[in-house]
Amino acid sequence: MKLWDKGIEPEKQMETFTVGKDRELDLFLAQWDIIGSIAHAKMLGSTGLISESETKQLIPELINLYHQAKKGTFTIEEGSEDVHSQVEKLLTSKLGEAGKKIHTGRSRNDQVLLDLRLFAREQLKRISEESNSLFNLLITLSNENKNVLLPGYTHMQAAMPSSFGLWFGAFAESLTDDMILLASAYKIVNQNPLGSAAGYGSSFPLDREMTTRLLGFDDLNYNSVYAQMTRGRMEKTIAFSLASFASTLAKLAMDMTLFVSQNFAFASLPDELTTGSSIMPHKKNPDAFELIRAKCNKIQALPNEIAFISNNLSTGYHRDFQVLKESVIPAFEELISCFKITRLMLSGIKVNKDVLKDEKYLYIYSVEKINKMVSGGTSFRDAYREVAKSISEGTFTPEKELHHTHTGSLGNLCNDHIERKMKEVISTIPFGKAEDAIVELIHLHS
């Protein structure tokens, strides 16, 4: 079934090419397409665009299809181009004339916009939950290892004393900034495009405020042209959010591949979280962290990929946008899998509590020596020169007692404040409102 069918059969090769991966990828959107159709049918009934009896036929059948989609038994047949076509085909075969009316006042353009927003809202919530779980683990590890020292590096050279408490806590706080970007992406996503049709509205008296309420959106994309302009723009905004999380995970993974190597030996992993070599029996490879690094670097390229597809397109819909599904939809699951495996790997980590006993880290205490001299009345510049001279002459003796007390330092991690920041950001995202609206929409008519 083709919603644009005018009785002329398209050339088969061209049809296959233009349908692309829609049948496969639209299965991810199916439940959301049906949810949107329930809200749309309810609105059509309330405005008199379909009769009360037609509304009463359509909504229960749509709810049946929704449950099929939730269970994974909904399929898109070979003859249907996409999920929109399949839903209308099923409704028409079951209900006849009433099924043919479900597309009234809609275009596939605003349908897919709506589907992607409803899908993205749920996926962003999943990302938030996975991030928060990793965040809590990092805070726990930071608190547990706050007194376990390790060298901090600049230019890949041992620089100053750090700690596992600081290291774990740094990635926890990084996730709070990532969450701010997620909250911004969610705010942009959480606007209703339904009713913009093909980008120029409709002469039907559509109640767009009603569908906004029914679907739990915070607001609308009011201008019909702009609603269509958000295609590509919305996906890129989401991609920037995913890329921010991916940046945090990739850096953590890179550090861990160094930390568990023999040359660093800052930490170790249990055998079951490593892989071996086909010819070197001693190897314990951190393959999972390497794959996290690669997958997250790939996700960081996503905003550019979307920009190259959608940049410089004129106002209005273009078929180019179809390809964006292939980039965005799998990226959510890819990032979620990276969160899960990062959490698994860190749950098995064993830190080396004696790293700084190695003599090669002797000079990372040089700043401590300078600071002690400055506290005794020597100017910083004179103290710096004196310590530098002792290092070059081989007479340097370290001051290993550390007294870091300022905010965010070795002795004052401020993890409670970092936790507060995360809670505050998450509290601003109206996940509950969206979920409650969908539950009410379904169960009110079940």
pLDDT (tens digit, 9 = 90+) per residue, 230-248? 999 999 999 999 999 999 9
d(CA 40, CA 29): 16
The residue out of 54, 74, 100 marking a domain boundary is 100
Name the least confident of 12-16, 289-293, 360-364.
Answer: 12-16
> Contact 365/399 with Cβ under 8 angstroms?
yes
* Residue range 84-104, pLDDT digits in tens: 999 999 999 999 999 999 999
Residues 87-118 as b/e (b if ≥16 CB within 10 A, e otherwise) read bbbbbbeebeebbebbbebbbbbbbbbbbbbb
d(CA 256, CA 253): 5
pLDDT for 414: 97
The residue out of 52, 73, 100 marking a domain boundary is 100
* Whole-prediction pTM: 0.93
pLDDT for 21: 73
- Does any domain span residue 137? yes
d(CA 387, CA 276): 46
Instruction: Say whether both 87 and 176 belong to one domain.
Output: no
Work out the angle between the directed axes of helices 22-46 and 324-347 (0-180°, nearest 10).
Answer: 110
Amino acid letter, residue 58: L
Centre a 10 Å sphere on the Cβ of residue 370 and count the other Cβ atoms it contains: 21
- Does any domain span residue 5? no
Pick from 77, 92, 76, 79: nearest CA to 33 = 76
Instruction: Say whether both 187 and 68 belong to one domain.
Output: no
Three-point CA angle 182, 188, 194, nearest 5°: 135
Alpha-carbon Rg for the chain, nearest whole angstrom, is 28
In which band, very low, low, confident or very high, does the pLDDT at 4 lie, cut at 50, 70 and 90? Answer: very low
pLDDT for 79: 77
Q: What are phi and psi of 361, to 5 degrees?
A: -100, 15
Q: How many CA atoms lie within 13 A of 282 on its CB side?
A: 2
> Contact 43/59 with Cβ under 8 angstroms?
no
pLDDT for 47: 97
The residue out of 69, 100, 131 marking a domain boundary is 100
Percent of the chain with pLDDT over 90: 86
Instruction: Say whether both 419 and 352 belong to one domain.
Output: yes
Averaged pLDDT for residues 341-350: 96
> Contact 299/243 with Cβ under 8 angstroms?
yes
For residue 197, give every residue at least 6 positions away whose Cβ sits within 8 Å of its Cβ, in sequence order, or none: 105, 106, 107, 109, 110, 224
The residue among 109 and 4 whose pLDDT is bigger is 109
Instruction: Say whether both 90 and 159 belong to one domain.
Output: no
* Residue range 269-320, pLDDT digits in tens: 999 998 887 788 888 899 999 999 999 999 999 999 999 999 989 999 998 8
Instruction: Say whether both 77 and 124 belong to one domain.
Output: no
**Domain at 79, CATH number:** 1.10.275.10
Q: How many domains does the chain have?
A: 2
In which band, very low, low, confident or very high, does the pLDDT at 20 lie, cut at 50, 70 and 90? Answer: low
**Domain at 293, CATH number:** 1.20.200.10
Percent of the chain with pLDDT over 70: 95
Instruction: Say whether both 134 and 40 belong to one domain.
Output: no
Average pLDDT value for the chain? 93
Range of the domain at 45: 12-100
pLDDT for 163: 97
Instruction: Say whether both 127 and 92 belong to one domain.
Output: no
Averaged pLDDT for residues 141-147: 97
* Residue range 178-195, pLDDT digits in tens: 999 999 999 999 999 999
For residue 42, give every residue at least 6 positions away whose Cβ sits within 8 Å of its Cβ, in sequence order, or none: 55, 59, 210, 214, 441
Averaged pLDDT for residues 105-116: 95
pLDDT for 18: 62
Instruction: Say whether both 421 and 272 belong to one domain.
Output: yes
Instruction: Say whether both 170 and 316 belong to one domain.
Output: yes
Instruction: Say whether both 117 and 95 belong to one domain.
Output: no
- Does any domain span residue 216? no
Instruction: Say whether both 285 and 162 belong to one domain.
Output: yes
* Residue range 386-421, pLDDT digits in tens: 999 999 999 999 988 888 999 999 999 999 999 999
- Does any domain span residue 439? no
